[in-house]
A and B are shown apart, each in its own frame.
Chain A
Amino acid sequence: MRRKGGKLTFRQQMRLTALPGMLGVGFLYLLPGCALFYYASINNVFQKRFVGLENLLDILSNSYFLLALKNTAVLLAAALALVLLLAILLVLPNAFFGWRTEGVAIVLLIPLFTPSVISVELLQNVGGGLPSRWQLLLLFVWRNAGAILLLLSVGMARMEKDMLEAARLDGANRRQLFVYMQFPMLTLYIGVGAVFLVMQFFGIFREAYLLFGTSFPPDEVYLLQHYMHNHFLRLNYPYLAAAAILFTAFLVAVIWVVRVLTTRFIKYRHFIGCEYKMSEGGRGR
C-alpha cells in the first residue's frame, strides 16, 4: 500500500529496516547451515552415499561424544557458579560500605583482552601443578570476572536509591537491604552476565588448545569443541555435521526450558522483589 506521490509510509520504512539483519542471518547462517544436514546424511566426503540417520545414531553411542557432552555440562555449570559467586562477593563492599567498584572492574577487565597466550603462560607459571580441570576453570575465572563485576556494579549504580532509603528509615539493616532488596534487583544483571558467560565458555577451546598444546587433552577436560575440531581436521565432515546438529538441538532445548522457567518466575516476581509493581505507583501491593 503506497501513499500519494509514491512515498512509503513510516511503518513501511520501519519494516524495511529489518532487511539487513534478515538477509544477513539468512544468507550467512541459515542457508549455509543447510549444508550441515547434507553432510550429516552422507557416509563420507569421497563416496557421498546417502545413509540417513546413521551418523547421528553412531555419534549418540560413541563413548567420546558422551564424555565430551558430560564434561561440557559439568565445566559449564562449575564455571558459571564460580564466576557469578566471585563477582557477587566483589560487589559486596559496594552494597555494604558504598564503595564504587567500576574502576576496579575496568582494571579487572584487562585479562579478558590480553592475548590468550600470555594468560596461559602466566597460569602455567603460577598453577602448573593443579588438576587440569581446575587449571581451565581458573583461566576462565581470571578472564571473565571483570566483565561480570562491571555489569553488577553498573546495576548497583542504577538502582533506585529512594526505595532503599525508605526501607532504611523503616529500620532495615544492611544485610536485610542486600538480601531482600538489592539482590532481587540485581537478578536481571546477573542473568545478562550468565548469558555472556555461556557465550564466553563456548569460546574456551582456544585457551584449552594452548594450555594442553594439542587438541587431544586429558579425558577430564575433553570438550565438545575438541571433538568437532578433531573431526574437521580429519576431514570427517559427516560426524562433525551430526555433532553440530545435535549440539544445536541441545542448545535450543536448554534455551526453551530456561525461557519457560523465567517467564514463570517473572509472573510470580511480586512475591520476591516488588520493584516493578512498586515503581508504577504502588499498584502491585
Chain B
Amino acid sequence: MNASLLFQQYGNSLIYALGTAMLSTLVAVPTGYAMARWKSVWMKALFWCCVVLLFLPFQVTMLPEYVLLDFLHLLDTRLAILIPGMVSPLPILILWMGNKQVPDEFEDAFCLESSSLFFYFRFILLPNLRGVIAAAFSICFLLNWNLVDPALIFLEDRRLWPLSLTLLEQEGATQLYYGALDMVPVVLLLGMILATTWQWRFRKMYGILKRIRKDMKPR
C-alpha cells in the first residue's frame, strides 16, 4: 500500500465526515426552528418521521438508498455517501430541543421592529444557539468519522474508500499505525472541547479576581 493512496483515503475520511456534518447541520438549523415554532400536522409528522428514522439501523434503509443512488447514477462516487448523509435525524432533533429553549418573547419583540426572518436568524437566533449548533456539528462529525457500513455497500473503488474501511484489511503493526493515524482528529476535537470548558472556568475565575482587585483599590 503506497503513501499517496493512504493520504487520499485520509482526505476521503475528512471529506465524508466534514461534509456530512456541515450539510446536515445546515439543513437541521431551519428545520429545527420550524419544528419548534410551527404548530401543525406537517411538523408533527416530520417529528415522528425523524424519531423513527433515528432508530432505524442502516440495514433497513440500505435497500431504498441503493435504489435511489442507482436511479441517480451516483453509486461509486463521493456523493453516494454525502447525499444520504445530508439529512440526518439526529442534528434535526438536537436543534429542535435547542430551539424549544429559546423563549417566544424574543420573536415577539423582534417582530415589532422587523419582519425579516434572515435578520432574526442572523442577530437573534444563531447567536443564542451557538453552543447547540457546535454540539450538533461535532456529534455528527465524530459519529461519521468511522463510517464503515455505507462505504462497504456503495463504494467499490479503493481510491474513494475512507481510512476506516482500509483499516479492516490491515494486520498487526500496520493496523495499529493506521488506527493511531485515524484517532488524531478525534483526540484533537475532544481536546479542544476540554480546553474550551477549562477556559470558561478560568475566565470565570479571572473575572472574580479582577472584581476583587477593583474592590480593594483605594478610592
Which residues does A use to contact B, with CB under 8 Å? 7, 9-10, 13-22, 24-25, 28-33, 35-36, 39, 102-103, 106, 109-110, 112-118, 121, 195, 198-199, 202-203, 205-206, 210, 224-225, 228-229, 232, 237, 240-241, 244, 247-248, 251-252, 255
Residue of A20, A102, A205, A237 with most chain B CB atoms under a 10 A cut-off:
A20
Task: Say yes or no: is B57 at the interface (Cβ < 8 Å to chain A).
Answer: yes
Complex formed: what's the CA distance from A21 to B56 in Å? Answer: 18
* Known contacts A14-B37, A205-B57, A205-B149, A251 near B190 by CB under 8 Å: no
Q: A28-B68, A203-B57, A225-B59 are in contact. List 13 more A-B contacts (CB 8 A).
A: A17-B31, A17-B34, A18-B38, A21-B27, A28-B65, A28-B86, A113-B190, A114-B179, A115-B182, A206-B148, A225-B57, A248-B52, A248-B60
Interface contact B42-A18, CB-CB below 8 Å: yes
Chain B residues 182-205 with CB under 8 Å of chain A are 182-183, 186-187, 190, 193-194, 197
How many A-B residue contacts, CB cutoff 8 Å?
Answer: 167
Known: A24-B87, A113-B145, A206-B149. A36 touches B175 (CB 8 A): no
Most chain B CB inside 10 Å of its own CB: which residue of A15, A17, A115, A255: A115
- With contacts A28-B86, A252-B52 taken as known, whether A106 is within 8 angstroms of B193 at the C-beta atoms is yes
B11 contacts A by Cβ under 8 Å = no
B153-198 at interface with A (beta carbon < 8 Å) = 153, 164, 167-168, 175-176, 179, 182-183, 186-187, 190, 193-194, 197
Give the residues from 25 to 68 in chain B that come closer than 8 angstroms, CB to CB, to chain A. 27-28, 30-31, 33-35, 37-38, 42-43, 46, 48-65, 67-68
Distance in angstroms from A200 CB to nearest chain B CB is 9
Cα separation A199 to B139 with both chains bound (whole Å): 13
A18: which of B30, B59, B168 is its contact (CB, 8 Å)?
B30
B146 within 8 A of A: yes
Contact of A110 among B28, B37, B120, B187 (CB under 8 A): B187
CA distance A102 to B83 in the complex (A): 35
Which B positions have Cβ atoms within 8 angstroms of A?
Answer: 27-28, 30-31, 33-35, 37-38, 42-43, 46, 48-65, 67-68, 83-84, 86-87, 90, 92, 111, 115-117, 120, 142, 145-146, 148-149, 153, 164, 167-168, 175-176, 179, 182-183, 186-187, 190, 193-194, 197
When distances are taken between beta carbons in the complex, the residues of chain B under 8 Å from A30 are 49
CA distance A240 to B59 in the complex (A): 9
Shortest Cβ gap from A111 to chain B (Å): 11
Residue of A nearest to B118 (CB): A13
| Distance between Cα atoms of A160 and B53 in the complex (Å) | 34
A10 & B60 in contact (Cβ 8 Å cutoff)? no
Contact of B51 among A35, A106, A205, A255 (CB under 8 A): A255
Q: Is the CB of B67 within 8 A of A198?
A: no
Report which of B37, B52, B67, B142 forms a contact with A113, defined as CB distance below 8 A.
Answer: B142
Residues A22 and B168 in contact in the complex (CB < 8 Å), given A28-B68, A113-B146, A248-B56: no
**By the criterion CB–CB under 8 Å, are B50 and A25 in contact?**
yes
Nearest chain A CB to B149's CB is how many angstroms away? 6
Residue of A nearest to B121 (CB): A17
